[in-house]
Chains A and B, each alone.
Chain A
């Protein structure tokens, strides 16, 4: 099993969600996040003064999936989250050692 973590532009969240549900992904966890990458920060003007905002609002999406689903999931996220401009985000994958469903104590892929 794998855990896919994607940091995406906030307004792309719905597209990513639709693409993932169409794949049959059974769940996802979404967090409001802030960060910077190569896009850097931006400037805001308050009362004529400029302020550097280092961290930009992003959405962090976490999806656990089986090994077989992985590439389809990655394609779905990347294709739906892309705008082509800097700041589209990053996706990374880590191995998941064990998944447990709290309600039933099921373990392994069937707990996804």
Chain B
């Protein structure tokens, strides 16, 4: 091979697309590490910080291993046909095979997600990008489980849940599966990630049981500055979350980023104003602002590049208002009042994701084109865009969104019960013991977030812990 033919860019690879996709993926990865780790670590009691962060880091790692061994191809590989073409059974899951050969990683990315338009980067880029989305999902529903779930149980729940639930939902909506074929859309995961995580958090919290009552009564967040850092990383990380999902560093990526930010800003302001005027205490609270931020981010996710700026503002406003009411009132009625969803994931992710997913069917603007390429065939009808009721005066899209939401809620709920039941059977329980729960981090990990060493300098040498004395 002559030197002239050795070029880093195969003809199908576009350096800008590849770069943006890897940057976007890294931004999304930062949302988990350290974003979720310090956000949740800041929201739990001091005695649970280490345990919470440990579950974030181990969950992220477990998902990547699963993703390489079978997850990616289950969710985004070629669909397995268990039934006639076009039926549910031919479009709910990919193939069970690892992603580990040089050819598989360095070849051009192909996915049922948009098989009609070629990707301009390699499979490794797409696999990593899709991995960080998969990885954050269990970390989100972890928010419902912190403060009592057994650490060993978490290590089993993550791989099982990713395999049995995430991969199926992703294949159905993103991998070109049944709901994608029907016309339901999810720009970046309002359903596959957030609605699903919200449902899993709620069902999981019900199965694991509530935190100790002492931990609930005394649920002082450990550090609001850490919450600010985590929340800020989530917000700006979302530029990769939604900005990466056109899969091209094009105009729609920019629209998605701008829409995401404006919906989020409106979400923050909506929640703060509702707190100031409608809450019992009439106080604007920082953690309320963070809730509003999450509502905006989550709700714009299913529609980020398919709505115009006005649509994004409406999404942020509607989602934050609905979730605020749910947070303050729905939480008082059964079954919500009976389940200890520690971080309120079912509200800020579940309900916000549901609202956002349905809003696609209302405010999506057919003028917002996902790929600025005319003639690219998508169902034989030009470039990809989505038309909501405002523009098409048809409830068709809303109906498709509604059906997909029913599936996500139902399947995730049942699947989560199955996964947690298996783990409960294997380990003989999902909770740490009562004595462990009373102590928290120090009992589970022999570490604490703010260790206090003995005062002064050691005098008696060498100590009994010194390696010479063991």
Interface residue ranges, A against B (CB under 8 Å):
44-51
Closest chain-A Cβ to B450's Cβ sits at a distance in Å of 16
Asked whether B287 lies within 8 Å of A46 as measured between CB atoms, the reply is yes
Asked whether A47 lies within 8 Å of B220 as measured between CB atoms, the reply is no
Task: Pick the 8 closest A-B CB pairs, nearest first.
Answer: A47-B287, A45-B281, A45-B285, A46-B221, A46-B287, A45-B283, A48-B328, A48-B327
For the complex, would chain A's binding face be called helix, strand, loop or mixed by DSSP majority?
strand
For the complex, would chain B's binding face be called helix, strand, loop or mixed by DSSP majority?
loop
Chain B minimum-CB-distance residue to A49: B219
Chain A minimum-CB-distance residue to B287: A47
Contact of A48 (CB < 8 Å), options: B218, B221, B279: B279
A51, B218: Cα distance in complex, Å: 7
Name 18 extra pairs, CB < 8 A, besides A45-B285, A46-B285, A48-B288: A44-B220, A45-B281, A46-B219, A46-B220, A46-B221, A46-B287, A47-B285, A47-B287, A47-B288, A47-B291, A47-B344, A48-B275, A48-B279, A48-B285, A48-B327, A48-B328, A49-B219, A51-B220
Asked whether A51 lies within 8 Å of B219 as measured between CB atoms, the reply is yes
Closest chain-A Cβ to B294's Cβ sits at a distance in Å of 11
Give every chain A residue within 8 A of B327 (Cβ-Cβ).
48
Q: What would be 22 A-B contacts, judged by CB atoms less than 8 Å apart?
A: A44-B220, A45-B281, A45-B283, A45-B285, A46-B219, A46-B220, A46-B221, A46-B285, A46-B287, A47-B285, A47-B287, A47-B288, A47-B291, A47-B344, A48-B275, A48-B279, A48-B285, A48-B327, A48-B328, A49-B219, A50-B281, A51-B220
A47, B219: Cα distance in complex, Å: 10
Give every chain A residue within 8 A of B275 (Cβ-Cβ).
48
Chain A minimum-CB-distance residue to B290: A47
Max count, chain B CB within 10 A of own CB: residue among A45, A47, A50: A47
Closest chain-B Cβ to A32's Cβ sits at a distance in Å of 15
Chain B minimum-CB-distance residue to A43: B281
A-contact bits for B314-346, CB 8 A (1 contact / 0 none): 000000000000011000000000000000100
Give every chain B residue within 8 A of A45 (Cβ-Cβ).
281, 283, 285
Give every chain A residue within 8 A of B344 (Cβ-Cβ).
47
Give every chain B residue within 8 A of A44 (Cβ-Cβ).
220
| B residues 78-99 touching A (CB-CB < 8 Å) | none
A-contact bits for B271-284, CB 8 A (1 contact / 0 none): 00001000101010
Give every chain A residue within 8 A of B219 (Cβ-Cβ).
46, 49, 51
A46, B220: Cα distance in complex, Å: 7
A44, B224: Cα distance in complex, Å: 13
Closest chain-B Cβ to A35's Cβ sits at a distance in Å of 18
Chain A minimum-CB-distance residue to B216: A49
A45, B291: Cα distance in complex, Å: 14
Chain B minimum-CB-distance residue to A44: B220
A50, B280: Cα distance in complex, Å: 10
A49, B344: Cα distance in complex, Å: 12
Chain A minimum-CB-distance residue to B224: A46
Give every chain A residue within 8 A of B287 (Cβ-Cβ).
46-47
Give every chain A residue within 8 A of B288 (Cβ-Cβ).
47-48
Closest chain-A Cβ to B394's Cβ sits at a distance in Å of 38
